[in-house]
């Protein structure tokens, strides 16, 4: 699976949009971009995933660049409860070696009042 | 609530001991994954089971073993425990074993080895 690079930490004001970048310059054509978050030692929580089109759900939007080498997770109106570590993960859809997730260091997002 | 349950929530034991962690996947999910999260190693994949069969192995120590039972619940057995095994252990489940299956994580078991 392709490696990802994320900033170690970011701050965001409550009520503003949080834009979390992820670089995955070695991504292959059959690899998806997944985002998970972990709120203070709780189990990681799935947020969203995409292949090449932009995606939106009730939690967030995922913007993937046309060359697919980077992506941005957008939390449109961050709240204090969005303070967490956000993980960007790249994974093939079907892998004979298993379906595991490979977590990097993630971005620690601090939402401030 | 992800629908994945893990017991116990906390476990404190001594070096050299053996413990069993239990995971019940979401209803209908056939795959179970185990992950370890320690302070210095981050979240690491240990092992995956699919419908009772081992599907993939990560950096799982030989002292650790797992199984998935016919009712699809899974147990992770940790033996000859060392101080360094202190960590959060998460179980996740997904419907199948590939595609764009979403993995849903349980709340974890915090293991402390004294």
Chain A within 8 Å of B21 (Cβ-Cβ)? no
Can you read off the two tokens belonging to residue B87? 């960590």
- Per the CB < 8 A criterion, the answer to whether A80 and A111 are in contact is yes
Distance CA A97, CA A99 (A): 7
- What sign results for the dihedral spanned by CA atoms A23, A24, A29, A34? negative
Note the pLDDT of residue B74: 98
Q: Do A93 and B100 touch (CB under 8 A)?
A: yes
Interface test with A, best of B30, B88, B103, B107 (most A CBs within 10 A): B103
Tell me if chain A has a CB within 8 Å of the CB of B64. no
Burial of B1 (0-12, 13-18, 19+ CB in 10 A): exposed
Q: What is the pLDDT of residues A35-92, one digit of tens each?
A: 999 999 899 999 999 999 899 999 999 999 999 999 999 999 999 999 999 999 998 8
Torsion of CA B39, B44, B49, B50, to 10 degrees: 130
Percentage of residues in chain B having pLDDT higher than 90: 87
Instruction: Check if B2 contacts A (Cβ < 8 Å).
Output: yes
pLDDT of residue B41: 78
Flag if B105 and A44 touch (Cβ within 8 Å): yes
Determine the straight-line distance between the first and last CA of chain B, rounded to whole angstroms: 31
Rounded CA separation A20/A37 (Å): 12
Q: Report the gap between the CA of B79 and the closest CA in chain A (Å).
A: 24
**Does B92 contact A43 at a Cβ distance shorter than 8 Å?**
yes
Q: Return the exposure string of A25-54: e unless at least 16 CB atoms fall within 10 Å of the residue's CB, then b.
A: eebeeebbbbbbbbeeebbbebbbbbeeee
Which tens digits make up the pLDDT trace of B13-62? 999 999 999 999 999 999 999 999 998 778 999 999 999 999 999 989 99
pLDDT band at A100, cuts 50/70/90?
A: confident
Q: What is the mean pLDDT of residues B58-67?
A: 95
Where does the pLDDT of residue A1 fall: very low under 50, low under 70, confident under 90, or very high at 90 and above? low
For residues B78 and B14, is the Cβ–Cβ distance under 8 A?
no
Can you tell me the distance from the alpha carbon of A13 to that of A69, in angstroms, rounded to the nearest whole number? Answer: 28
Q: Which residue of A has its CA nearest to B91?
A: A43
Strand residues in B1-114 grouped as ranges (E): 5-7, 10-13, 19-24, 31-38, 42-50, 53-57, 64-68, 74-78, 87-94, 104-105, 109-113
Q: Are A101 and A80 in contact (CB under 8 A)?
A: no
- Assess contact for B25 and B72: CB atoms under 8 A: yes
Structure tokens at B14: 């001594």
Residue B24, chain A, CB below 8 Å: the answer is no
Report, in this order, helix, strand and coil percent for chain A, each rounded to 5.
5, 45, 50
């Amino acid at each position: 699976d392709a490696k990802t690079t994320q900033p170690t930490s970011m701050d965001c004001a409550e009520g503003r949009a949080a834009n979390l970048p992820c670089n995955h310059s070695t991504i292959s054509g059959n690899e998806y971009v997944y985002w998970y978050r972990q709120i203070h030692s709780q189990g990681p929580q799935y947020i969203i995933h995409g292949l090449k089109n932009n995606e939106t759900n009730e939690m967030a939007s995922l913007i993937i660049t046309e060359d697919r080498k980077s992506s941005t997770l957008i939390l449109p109106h961050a709240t204090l409860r969005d303070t967490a570590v956000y993980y960007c993960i790249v994974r093939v859809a079907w892998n004979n070696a298993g379906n595991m997730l490979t977590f990097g260091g993630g971005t620690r997002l601090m939402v401030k009042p | 609530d992800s629908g994945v349950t893990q017991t116990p929530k906390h476990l404190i034991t001594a070096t050299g001991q053996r413990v069993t962690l239990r995971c019940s996947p979401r209803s209908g999910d056939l795959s179970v994954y185990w992950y370890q999260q320690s302070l210095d190693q981050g979240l690491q994949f240990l092992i995956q089971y699919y419908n009772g069969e081992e599907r993939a192995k990560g950096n799982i120590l030989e002292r650790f073993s797992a199984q998935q039972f016919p009712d699809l619940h899974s147990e992770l057995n940790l033996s000859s425990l060392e101080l360094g095994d202190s960590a959060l252990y998460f179980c996740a489940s997904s419907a199948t074993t590939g595609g764009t299956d979403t993995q849903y994580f349980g709340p974890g078991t915090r293991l402390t080895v004294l």
